[in-house]
Structure 1
Amino acid sequence: MRRRRPLLRAAAVGGGAYMVGKHNANRQAEQSQYQQDQDDRISNLEAQQQQPSYQQAPPAPQPPPAPAAAPSPMIDQLNQLAALHQQGVLSDEEFAAAKAKLLGT
């Protein structure tokens, strides 16, 4: 006759049942926490929507525009040269020579 080990079997079954119960309890706690977080977010959004629009912060005032100085033709020509240099039409040496000629140096 085979000798059975009832304590070992009971421990294995009990341990398995414990782990399943613990897993289910953790999952249920996570679901309830997730649901609570969602409820809080919805409540916050509803509260924000119910506030009158005049309580929202007004946009920051923009600084007044700088007085427009009359653009000098020299600055326009320098900007044109810089644009040509950035586009690759003028090499570094050509750009330096044209700038020196324009500035009179």
Structure 2
Amino acid sequence: MPGLLRGVARTAVVAGTATAVSNRVSRRQAGRWAQQDYEQQQQYAPPPEPQQYAPQPPAPAAPPADTADDMTRKIDQLKQLGDLKAQGVLTDEEFEQQKRVLLA
């Protein structure tokens, strides 16, 4: 009986080792294939386009005759400038400059 148990245990160890080695070889080969695919895609991929920036908000027009409409328009433009600044399109300096122009 001890010889039978020893044989079964040895078979289990050999089978477990073979499975572990096989899995490692499979993972390594899959990694190599993935790397080759990535390199081929990079080789044939078009170059990245340069980053486009949002256009600057238009300069304010001549002040209208009605002051209530003028204030509403300025408030809307200030909100737009604030949104552009929050999105990172405008820097703090650009925002302040545009705000001064708008309120002048």
TM-score after normalising by structure 2: 0.45
TM-score after normalising by structure 1: 0.45
Structure ranking higher on relative contact order (CA contacts 8 Å, 6+ apart): 2
